Amino acid sequence: MAHQDQDWFTETCDEAGTKFSLMLHRKLHAEQTPYQKIEVYETTHFGNLLVLDGFIMLSARDNFIYHEMMSHTALFTHPAPHRVLIVGGGDCGCLREVLKHSSVETAELVELDERVTRVSERYFPELCASNDDARARLVFTDGIEWVARAAAGAYDVVIVDSTDPVGQAARLFQAPFYADCRRVLGADGLLIVQSESPLIHLSLIRSIRSEMRKAGFDDLSTLHFPQCTYPSGWWSATLAGGRLSHAEFRERGARCRPFTTRYYNADIHRAALARPEFVHFNEE
């Protein structure tokens, strides 16, 4: 639920009893697509703001944390990521980060709603800066069907950059989809999914991990990072699969990476793996 009064965009988080508001200069864009309502606002302090069905997807100011942590943690954990699939992520922020890795040969982005990408190209051109990279392929179709039809072992890393688990997106948090992800990943293959707030969605994180286990993923790590514009200001990603312990990521590669980041580095990668004392998982 959200409302916009004259000067503020406000998102309500019903399950936490909280609201978060950003001060606005103006509304830049609004449209109803076959899938959702897309809005873009110009905020006073957080740059442009992308909103889908009333929920904040990203701000120009703080999206770097989310996109870097969804991408580089997985790509520096896989020993040699060549073929990457991004499910969702139509704003193209993860795609840009993935393509910073010279090992990547193909990066496919499968987004249901082409309009999210077209709107992002216009209002968040910095996130779409690598869309013309020869290794990038943008496909506008249902990611769940795409994964169901993809060949076994087709990908090294699958990144699920989804909206919250409501409506269509709910299936992205369930075992049948994770089983398909497991099939399309090679033996070293890694899945990473955005997994909501450790403070207010811990039961959902437990559910995601349980569904992943049902799908055959034995090695799971939930990583934590700040994300100001998401509920509670604290977010997580859950990494599944791979042949090596997630703690044994390519730390030297991360430390000597030949590209710039704004949040991610090797120390931050290791820090994100630390488990707060109150976070317990049933399976442990």
Catalytic residue among 62, 113, 161, 180: 161
Q: How many residues bind a copy of itself (CB under 8 A)?
A: 45
Q: Mask of contacts with a copy of itself, 21-60, x by CB under 8 A? A: xxx-------------------xxxx--------------
Is residue 280 part of the contact set for a copy of itself (CB under 8 A)?
Answer: no
Burial grade of 283 (CB within 10 A; 0-12, 13-18, 19 or more) = exposed
CA distance 39 to 27: 8
Only one residue has tokens 């997106």, namely 169
Closer residue to a copy of itself, CB minimum distance, 179 or 199: 199
Q: Is 4 in the site for a copy of itself (CB under 8 A)?
A: no
Contact present, 14 and 46 (Cβ < 8 Å): no
Gap between the terminal Cα atoms of the chain = 36
Letters for 260-279 (x = contact with a copy of itself by CB under 8 A, - = none) are xxxxxx-xx-xxxxxxxxx-
Q: Which of 5, 6, 17, 26 binds a copy of itself (CB under 8 A)?
A: 17
- Measured CA to CA in angstroms, residue 242 lies from 71, 177, 205 at distances of 15, 17, 19
- Residue ranges of E strands in 92-244: 106-111, 136-140, 155-161, 185-194, 220-226, 234-241
Identity of the residue, 149 or 259, whose beta carbon is nearer to a copy of itself in the bound complex: 259
- C-alpha 62/C-alpha 205 separation (Å) is 23
161 part of the active site: yes
Q: How far is the CB of 263 from a copy of itself (least distance, A)?
A: 5
Site string for a copy of itself, 202-241 (x = CB under 8 A): ----------------------x-xxx---xxx-------
Which residues, other chains included, contact 1 with Cβ-Cβ below 8 Å and sequence gap of 6+? 11, 12, 14, 54
Task: Write out the catalytic residue numbers.
Answer: 161
Binding residues for a copy of itself, per CB under 8 A?
Answer: 8, 10, 15-23, 43-46, 62, 64-65, 198-200, 224, 226-228, 232-234, 260-265, 267-268, 270-278
